Amino acid sequence: MDVEAVRWLQTEDGQRVLAAAGALEEPDPLRAHAALARACPGTPSPLLAAALTQAELRGRAAEKFGVLAASMYFTPEGLEQATRLSVATHRAARLTAFGASTVIDLGCGIGGDLVAFARAGITAAGVDLDPVRVAVATANLEALGLAGAVGVANALEVDVSGFDVAFADPARRTGRGRTFSPDAWTPPWSLVESLLRRDACVKTAPGIPHELVPAGVEAEWVSDHGEVKEAALWGGRLATVGRRATVIGDGGLATLTDDDDARADVVPLGRFLYEPDGAVIRAGLVTAVAAGVHGGLLDPHIAYVTAEESFRTPFARSYEILETLPHREKQLRAALHERNIGRLTIKKRGVDVVPDQLRKRLALTGDDEATIVLTRVDGHGTCLLVRPF
The residue ranges of every structural domain in the chain are: 3-59, 79-255, 261-389
Q: pLDDT, tens digit, for every residue of 188-242? A: 888 889 999 999 999 999 999 999 999 999 999 999 999 999 999 999 999 999 9
307 pLDDT higher than 80: yes
Q: How much is the pLDDT for 1?
A: 84
pLDDT digits (tens, 9 = 90+) for 269-298: 999 999 999 999 999 999 999 999 999 999
pLDDT digits (tens, 9 = 90+) for 69-83: 999 999 999 999 999
Domains 79-255 and 261-389 share a fold: no
What mean pLDDT is predicted for residues 121-149? Answer: 97
Three-state secondary structure readout of the chain: CCHHHHHHHCCHHHHHHHHHHHHCCCCCHHHHHHHHHHHCCCCCHHHHHHHHHHHHHHHHHHHHHHHHHHHCCCCHHHHHHCCCHHHHHHHHHHHHHHCCCEEEEECCCCCHHHHHHHHCCCEEEEEECCHHHHHHHHHHHHHCCCCCEEEECCHHHCCCCCCCEEEECCECEECCEECCCHHHCECCHHHHHHHCCCCEEEEECCCCCHHHCCCCCEEEEEEECCEEEEEEEEEHHHCCCCEEEEEEECCEEEEEEHHHCCCCCECCCCCEEEEECHHHHHCCCHHHHHHHCCCEEEECCEEEEEECCCCCCCCEEEEEEEEEECCCHHHHHHHHHHCCEEEEEEEECCCCCCHHHHHHHHCCCCCEEEEEEEEEECCEEEEEEEEEC
Mean pLDDT of 55-71: 97
Give pLDDT, residue 8: 97
Mean pLDDT across the chain, nearest whole number? Answer: 94
Considering the domain delimited by 261-389, tell me its CATH architecture.
Answer: 2-Layer Sandwich (3.30)
The pLDDT, as a whole number, for residue 188 is 83
Would the pTM of this model clear 0.85, i.e. be above it?
A: yes
In this prediction, residue 174 has a pLDDT band, given cuts at 50, 70 and 90, of: low
What pLDDT does 380 receive?
A: 87
Pick the CATH number of 79-255 from 3.40.50.300, 3.40.225.10, 3.40.50.150, 1.20.1060.10: 3.40.50.150
More confident residue, 1 or 182: 1
In the predicted model, is pLDDT for residue 177 greater than 70? no
The pLDDT value given to residue 170: 86
